[in-house]
Each structure stands twice: as C-alpha cells, then as structure tokens.
Amino acid sequence: MTEVTVTDVTATVTSWPVDLSTVPAGVTRLEIRADLVGDLDPAPLRLAFAGRLQYTLRSRAHGGRCADPPEVRRARLAWAALGYDTVDLEADHDLRPEVLAAVPAARRRVSWHGPSAALTELRERFAAMAAVPAAGYLLAPRAASAADALVPLRLLAGLGRADVTAYGTGALGVWSRLLAPWLGAPAVAGPLDRSRSTGALDVARICADYPFAALPPLRDLYGLAGPVALASSFLGLHNHAYRERGIPALYLPFHLTGIGDFLTGFWPAVPDGLRALGMPLRGLTVSGPLKEVALHVADVVSPVARAAGAANALTRRGGRWRAATTDSSAVAAALRWVGVPLAGRPAAVVGCGGAGRAAAVALRYVGADVTMVNRRETRGRLAADLLGLPFTPLDAFRPTGPCVVVHATSVHTRLPFPVEGLSAGAAVVDLVCPPSGVSALVAEARGRGLRTVDGRRVMAVEAAHQFRLMTGRPMPPEPTIREVVTHAGLDSP
C-alpha cells in the first residue's frame, strides 16, 4: 500500500488536573472529555499544549457520563465552539439546527458509539452522518469479539475516504484502532492517563510502539494473541525491528481472554478477513492459555511443539498454518548463557503450562535429569506423563545442590519455592517479566550468589527467535532490543 500520513495522534484527557508536560512527543491533538473532567478553559490549555484541541461531551447513550438536559448540552457545545478547534457532535441527538448553527462545519466531528453492528448498518449510519458537513466522522461500534472489529475496517476499505475514522471499541477491538489508519482513518487516539486505558492502549504506548504519525508502507501483518497482548513489550520489540530492517509489516495486539475468544471470535474469521482486505496475517505469537489450541488449528506442527504439547508461534507459509514453539530455543539459549554443563545434572521446571513443558523438552534434549513441578497436582502429573518425566508437587519441592531450576509460572512478588538449599553451581532461569525491576526469585537467587537469567533476557531472545521465524530475517542486535523492553507484561508468550 502507498504511504499515508495520519492527520492526528490524539491524547484523550480523562482526568483532571493532569500535567500536560507528560503528553508524549508526536501527539498532535488533545481531546478533552468534558463529561469526565468538566468544561476546561481552552486558553490555559493552549499555553501548555501547542497542538489542536478537541471538546467531547460523551453522553451516556454513547458510553460516556453526560446526562445533561438537552438545552444544557446544547449550551455547552455552543460554548466549546468558541474556543476549541473541534467539537464532537453525536449523530443521534446533536445534529439539530441550533447546534449546527453554533458549531461551524470546519469544527465539527460527527460521531457514533454503539453496539456491534453489521456492515450494512454501519454504511447506513455513515450515509446519514455524511449528510451533515463536517471536518471528520467517527463510527465506533463495540467489538464483542475480535471478528466484530473487522466490520468497521471493511467500512473504511469500502469508503476510501480520508475524513472517516472507524474501529471496534473495547479490548477486543484495540487492534482495529491501530490498523485503521492504513485504511484511510485520519486519526488514532489513546488515553493520556494510563490508569484509564482499560480496553485501549494509552497514548504513550501508541507513540512508542507504532510508527505514527507518518505511516510506512504496509504489506504483512503479525501479532500477539492472548490475554497478555495489550501489556506485552513484544509490540514495541517487533514494530521497532520492522522499521529498522525496512520490513513493510505491523505487529498487532489481539486481546483474547481464552480459548472461547480464540475459536469463536478470532479463528479463522480474522485471518480470513484481513486477507480479504489485502493485509494478510502472516504470523502470530500465541500466549497461554492458547498454546494448546494453537496445535489443533495448525496444518503442520513442529516436532518440538508436538513433544511439548503446545505451540507459541503460528506462521502461514504456502497457504498452510504451521505451529512451532520458541520457548524451548529461548530456554536453551538462556542455559548457554548460564554457562553450566547440563548433561546428567539435576534440573526442575516449576510450572507445567506450555512454556514449562517446552523448557522441559529443551532440558531433556541436552541430557539433564528433569523433574516437573506444579502447584496443581492433577495438571502437573498430566504434563509429566505427557513428557515421560517424574513429578513433584510444589509444596514438597525443595531444590538442593547444583540443581538447575526453570521457573515458568506468573508468580513474581514472592518466592515461588525456597532457594536456600541450592549450592554453588546451581542456576535459576526465571521466565516471568515483572512490570519493573526483577522478580523476587531472581533477586533472592542473585543475593545468594547463584547464576541467574531473568525474564527480560529470555524474552529478548524469544522475540528475536520469533522475528526470524516469522520474517526469515534476523532481529536487530540485542542491545537495541533490550532498550525497547520497557512495558513487559507478567507473562512471556
């Protein structure tokens, strides 16, 4: 596709007071949610912010908090038109002669927020909205599934206009908000306050992780599917690497809470729909709890993924989806960094999910004497039986001597198991990535002089392995990668 330029990167102010010096570089518009923060005088705002100002008085019918009587609402909109560059007018009830007389066409944005809608309904809604001259239009149906978010993108593709923004709202639709500019949407927006970014990426993440405002050409799509998608630093890692390598691709967050979201709302509707839009999805990182189901939707499964009973990567080649796991190779690389011989050495993997099972496969491959450890005994024994390995319940696990321990659960604020029995020559590999700093396990192990590899180290190499698997090219050098790891989630894919 040809290069496009996004007109606006919008930071939405949802709480007040706020320090406007925190507005990220690259933001060109400030949206004041007056239904949340009141009617802010635009004059002092202009002293603190050099971009354009938008006034939005979201009604309860449109998912906001404004419940003003009609005459009060009309007065507030008319007041806003005196000082703001853009005033949002809701299509359902604001397009009255007295409001249109007070808000010039060049300052209007006509919007509609509502439930998920079919393409024919969105087309009809837009036709009615477009009858009112405005600088821009917004259609934002709620995405009850990932597939629902395809509908507004299909609308954009069919309209071929540069004054219409459309995307699915809610966490399941975030990916469509980010992709919409490549289909002609003139703006992308996110909350300025991270605490209000539920169901959306905050604007700092948008500016840091995505190539706005001047969009590069786009040929292929990749993404992360799972409940950690919106928090993962994989977004920034991959998108920065695409830009540095000159690859016309985009990496998107497909927030899916579980197997139901994946099978009934995402697969295969979203990959098929994106291909129909001329934006084929070429690869997916898959996080827990979707690693097992990834095996079942694939046409081809790698031997390591089959042995682990889980896959964290799906790639499309020659019309076929291939399942693989990079958990094993990432752990193997981490163990090489540790620098201890593994053949015949006692080793334990704490956590029997997809990442833990893949780690066990890697350890067994190099000849370690592996034991599986898990809090829930039934699940742990099933995983151990799948791999043909012994099992120990977590509450009975007391590692001793020069053992190698790989930790693959989400626990990070406390010790998941005691480490005082480990001796010189022992090593701890932690796959968890706390929001900041290191986990309690890594801190304790380092304090005792044990060899450690933290989750960010593992995640950086995992991202590099997935990047090569998906694109066929190496990721930029690791120092560049590690500088980008600033928004790590609590789970590695």
Active site residues: 291
Give me the numbers of helices (H) and strands (E) for the chain, helices first please.
19, 22
The Cβ of residue 388 has, within 10 Å, a number of other Cβ atoms equal to 9
Cβ atoms 324, 375 nearer than 8 A: no
Whole-angstrom distance, CA of residue 199 vs CA of residue 388: 42
Give ∠ CA 299-305-308 in degrees, rounded to 5. Answer: 135
Pairing of strands 300-301, 249-255: unpaired
Amino acid at 49: F
Cβ atoms 407, 399 nearer than 8 A: no
Structure tokens, 268: 């295969």
Pairing of strands 313-317, 320-324: antiparallel
Instruction: Tell me which residue of 69, 299, 109, 273 sits closest to 189, measured CA to CA.
Output: 109
Structure tokens, 170: 């809610």
Cβ atoms 3, 216 nearer than 8 A: yes
Structure tokens, 190: 């996110």
What are the CA-CA distances from residue 250 to residues 93, 285, 446, 467 (Å)? 38, 13, 38, 12
Instruction: Tell me which residue of 196, 242, 252 sits closest to 217, measured CA to CA.
Output: 242
* DSSP 8-class letter at 411: -
Question: Could you give the maximum distance between any two Cα atoms of the chain, in Å?
Answer: 82
What are the CA-CA distances from residue 186 to residues 105, 137, 384 (Å)? 17, 10, 53
